[in-house]
Structure 1
Amino acid sequence: MAQSLCKIIRLVLISAGMISCESNINEVRKINITEFNPIGEAQDFNLKYTDSGKIKAILISPQMLDYSNLEFPFTEFPKGVDLTIYDDQQNKSFVTSNYAISYTNSNIIDLSGKVKITTHDGKILETEQLYYDQSNEWFFTQKTYKFTDKGNVINGIGIDFSKDFKTLDTQGITGVYGI
Structure 2
Amino acid sequence: MNWKQLHIKLNLVTVLAVTLFFSCNNDFEEVQKVGVLQNQPVGEAENIDLKYTEVEEDSVKLMANLISPKMLDYSNRDFSFSEFPNGIELVVYGEGDKVTKIFADYAIVYNDTDIIDLRKNVVVATPTKDSLFTEQLYYNEKLEWIFTNQPFTLKRLVGPTRGNGFDSDKEFKNFQMLEVDAVFELDN
Fold in common (TM above 0.5): yes
* Cα distance change, pair 50–106 in 1 and its aligned pair in 2 (3 A): closer
Q: State how many pairs are aligned.
A: 160
Q: Unmatched 5+ residue regions in structure 2? A: 1-20
SS in 2 for 1:175: coil
TM-score, reference length from structure 1? 0.77
Q: Which residue of 2 aligns with 1:45?
A: 48
Cα drift, residue 173 of structure 1: 0.5
Using the aligned pairs only, state the percent identity.
38
Residue 117 of structure 1 aligns with which residue?
124
Shift of 1:177: 2.5
In structure 1, the residue matched to 2:179 is 172
Post-superposition shift, 1:136? 3.0
Shift of 1:137: 2.7
Q: C-alpha distance in 2, partners of 1:47/1:107? A: 14
AA aligned to 2:80 is: P
User: After the TM superposition, which parts of structure 1 deviate over 2 Å for at least 4 consecutive aligned residues?
Assistant: 26-35, 47-58, 133-138
* 2:158/2:185 contact within 8 Å kept: no
Unaligned runs of at least 5 residues, structure 1: 1-19
Distance of 1:53 and 1:32 partners within structure 2:
42
1:118–1:124 CA contact under 8 A, matched in 2: yes
In 2, the alpha carbon distance for the partners of 1:155 and 1:71 equals 38
What does residue 3 of structure 1 align with?
Answer: none
Map of 1:66 onto structure 2: 73
Structure 1 distance, partners of 2:79, 2:31, is 23
Q: Which residue of 2 aligns with 1:160?
A: 167
**Alpha-carbon separation, structure 2, partners of 1:144 and 1:80:** 20
Task: Give the whole-Å Cα distance in 2 for the aligned partners of 1:50 and 1:33.
Answer: 36
- 1:30 matched to 2:37? The reply is no
How many Å apart are 1:121 and its aligned residue?
0.7
Q: CA RMSD in A?
A: 2.7
TM-score, normalized by length of structure 2?
A: 0.73
For residues 49 and 31 of structure 1, what CA distance do their matches in structure 2 show?
36
Rate the CA distance shift 1:161–1:60 in 2: closer, same or farther, 3 A: same
Shift of 1:138: 2.2
Q: Is 2:118 the counterpart of 1:91?
A: no
8 Å contact kept, 1:100–1:112: yes
Q: Indicate the residue corresponding to 1:13 in structure 2.
A: none
